[in-house]
Structure 1
Amino acid sequence: MTVTIDKNSGYCFGVEFAIQMAEDELANEPTLYCLGDIVHNSMEVERLHQQGLRIIGREQLQELHDCKVLIRAHGEPPETYALALRNNLELIDASCPVVLKLQNRVKHAFDTTNRQQGQIVIYGEPGHAEVAGLNGQTGNRSIIVMKEEDLDQIDFTRPVTLFSQTTKSTKGFYRMKELIEERITAAGGELTSFDANDSICRQVSNREPALTRFAAQHDVIVFVSGRKSSNGKALFGVVSQHNARSYFVENDEELDEAWFQNVGSVGICGATSTPMWLMQRVADRIAQIGEVQPA
């Protein structure tokens, strides 16, 4: 049995940058606070916890003063920066440049369309950290949509500007765009008042065709990701669509030996929040299973 790790899987630039910033700070500081999980992967969060990274929530942030706080790759709304000024917090800002650029685009679009009674719509997961940061650019007045029924919140007789969370599925975004166009037409509105912006990160969207090919090349696919990862859910949907024998695991302890009985090749891949060391650990465990398989 051969076991192959997808060379295109693993951290995107934004996550890698945030983790490097955390490790650089922890090399000189015993403790560093991070607002929310630095990455949606419990194994990596635990590894960094052992180095001194402490994950905090927004209520804890309110109580902190005179210390350093890491802003993770997902970005933050304006009120977080205002609070940091009030509490004399030094922010180690690891916001992904792609997310920061999108925040600026959302803010500019909101300021422009607000004068025309327009609406900002974000295709993304409600409650997700990146979506909260984007919504903050509109004073929390954007409309968050994930499913078709969420579109009921929109007034289709008024201008609509659509953006996407950077880690969502490209296919899902264009399906949402199509549904909005249908509803505008049905409401008697003008499609010229609809501005759809494909703001999905290309490091994310380019992985979909590569994963499609990778999934088809192996008998079994093991997809490694934290279950809280929005990107992980989207990419696992891609591999499972093209290989029915695809399995989602958070770590090597979740592997089932039955998956690998009489299998010629196993492919291992993961989300943009999955560390390469974890995929290697999964690969090593599968190789051990393969060695003891009956011929």
Structure 2
Amino acid sequence: MQVTIDKNSGYCFGVEFAIQMAEDELAHGGMLYCLGDIVHNRMEVERLNQKGLRVIDREQLELLHDCKVLIRAHGEPPETYALALRNNLELIDASCPVVLKLQNRVKHAFDLSQRQDGQIVIYGQPGHAEVAGLAGQTGNRALIVMTEADLDQVDFARPVTLFSQTTKSTAGFYKMKALMEARIAAAGGTLDSFDANDSICRQVSNREPQLAIFAAQHDVVLFVSGRKSSNGKALFSVVNAVNPRSYFIENEGELQDEWFAGAATVGICGATSTPLWLMRQVAEGVESMGELV
């Protein structure tokens, strides 16, 4: 079998920047905490743990004083920075510039909506770190939607401003936008009161057509990603729609012989949170299986 790793897959610049900041800090020794998994990939989290990066949750953060804490690429709400001041925490801020810019846009839109009796709606995964940071710009008054049923909480007789989590599917965002426009029409409103902002990161959205082409070029496609990755789920749906012989795996230990029966070419790709070293390990795992009939 011919095994090819997708040259366009792997870390986006935001994740790469955060991991480099963590490794640079760890190189100086001492303890470094990270608020949440630095990346939604279990294998990479374990690798950095061996270097000394300790993942903590928000409750643990409140108990820390006088130490260093890494803010990952997903960004954080304002209350995290306030807590850091109270507890004398030194923040190593690796927030993605794209996320920070979106946080500022959401904050500005929220301030404006307060004067217009409007609502901020975020298309994103409830509980996701980036979504929590965005909602924090609104005092947690933004409405989070993922499904059509979630739209029931929106008052479409009032102005609505829509944003998207940066790592969501472009197709999913525009489907949600269309559903909201239909709800506005049903409520007797006009689209003049609806401001839809496609705030999906272009490093993410540009990968969708690239992955579709890559998936069509191979008999079997292995999509390598952490199962908690929102971006991974979105991109795998693109791959699977093009090539039904696509498989979502976390590592080479999940490979199954029967997947490759009769396959001449195998493509390996991944999410923006998937390290290149992990895709290489999967490739080596496939190659070690030898020729299958």
TM-score interval for Structure 1 and Structure 2 normalised by the shorter chain: over 0.9
Residues 251-262 of structure 1: matches in 2 within 5 Å?
251-262=251-262
Find the counterpart in structure 1 of residue 129 from structure 2.
129
Contact 1:135 1:142 in 2 (8 A): yes
Alpha-carbon distance in 2 for matches of 1:29, 1:181: 54
User: Partner amino acid for 2:118?
Assistant: G
1:212-239 alpha-carbon deviations (Å, 9 max, x no partner): 0000000000000000000000000000
Alpha-carbon distance in 1 for matches of 2:141, 2:115: 14
Alpha-carbon distance in 2 for matches of 1:184, 1:29: 56
1:84-137 alpha-carbon deviations (Å, 9 max, x no partner): 000000000000000000000000000011111000000000000000000000
Measured after TM superposition, the shift of residue 261 of structure 1 is 2.0
Residues 10-159 of structure 1: matches in 2 within 5 Å?
10-159=10-159
- Give the aligned CA root-mean-square deviation in angstroms: 0.6
Find the counterpart in structure 2 of residue 215 from structure 1.
215
Residues 265-280 of structure 1: matches in 2 within 5 Å?
265-280=265-280
Residues 142-181 of structure 1: matches in 2 within 5 Å?
142-181=142-181
Unaligned runs of 5+ in 1: none
Runs of 4+ in structure 1 deviating by more than 2 angstroms, as ranges, are none
1:186-236 alpha-carbon deviations (Å, 9 max, x no partner): 100121000000000000000000000000000000000000000000000
Measured after TM superposition, the shift of residue 290 of structure 1 is 2.4
* Secondary structure of the corresponding residue to residue 289 of structure 2: helix
Find the counterpart in structure 1 of residue 233 from structure 2.
233
User: Partner amino acid for 1:219?
Assistant: D
Alpha-carbon distance in 2 for matches of 1:25, 1:257: 41
User: Partner amino acid for 2:40?
Assistant: H
Q: How many residues align?
A: 293
Measured after TM superposition, the shift of residue 36 of structure 1 is 0.1
Find the counterpart in structure 2 of residue 285 from structure 1.
285
Alpha-carbon distance in 2 for matches of 1:31, 1:53: 7
User: Partner amino acid for 2:125?
Assistant: E
Measured after TM superposition, the shift of residue 147 of structure 1 is 0.1
Relative to structure 2, which stretch is displaced further, 206-215 or 258-267?
258-267
Alpha-carbon distance in 2 for matches of 1:143, 1:243: 35
TM-score, normalised with respect to structure 1: 0.99
Alpha-carbon distance in 2 for matches of 1:232, 1:43: 14
Measured after TM superposition, the shift of residue 30 of structure 1 is 3.0
Find the counterpart in structure 2 of residue 250 from structure 1.
250
* Secondary structure of the corresponding residue to residue 280 of structure 1: helix
Unaligned runs of 5+ in 2: none
Contact 1:121 1:162 in 2 (8 A): yes
* Secondary structure of the corresponding residue to residue 290 of structure 1: coil
* Secondary structure of the corresponding residue to residue 222 of structure 2: strand
Contact 1:260 1:290 in 2 (8 A): no
Alpha-carbon distance in 1 for matches of 2:172, 2:262: 36
